[in-house]
Amino acid sequence: MQKKVITKAILVNHLNETIGLSKRECQIFFESFLKEVCSSLKEKKEVKIVNFGIFKVKNKNARIGRNPKTKVEVMISERNVVKFKASEFLINAVNSNHSYSDEKS
């Protein structure tokens, strides 16, 4: 089974074809969008995209972990992780035979 991956280049090309802006403008737009999402998450703000989902930062406390191969215990440091909760609309779109644009109209 071949794994399908959507890359940034594919998304930029799709924007170029659907919006009509130049590829460079689409790339700048896409990178600006990602930069804004990342900076908001760094500030621990939730990022809510209607009909898509919510990204939020959660703090994980330090804990003791174990290497399953060697059974050696190590300390895992405290860190922030990004959580994503898909919207009901996205879940329904993924589970139906309709495309996202069909669902939206």
* Of the candidates 87, 88, 104, 83, the residue with the CA atom closest to the CA atom of residue 53: 87
Q: What per-residue confidence (pLDDT) applies to 98?
A: 65
Q: Note down pLDDT in tens along the chain; length 105 residues.
A: 567 899 999 999 999 999 989 999 999 999 999 999 999 999 999 999 999 999 999 999 999 999 999 999 999 999 999 999 999 999 999 998 766 665 554
Placement of tokens 């330090």 in the chain: 62
| pTM score, whole prediction | 0.75
- Domain extents in the chain: 1-43
Q: Checking DSSP bridges between strand 63-66 and strand 53-60, what pairing results, if any?
A: unpaired
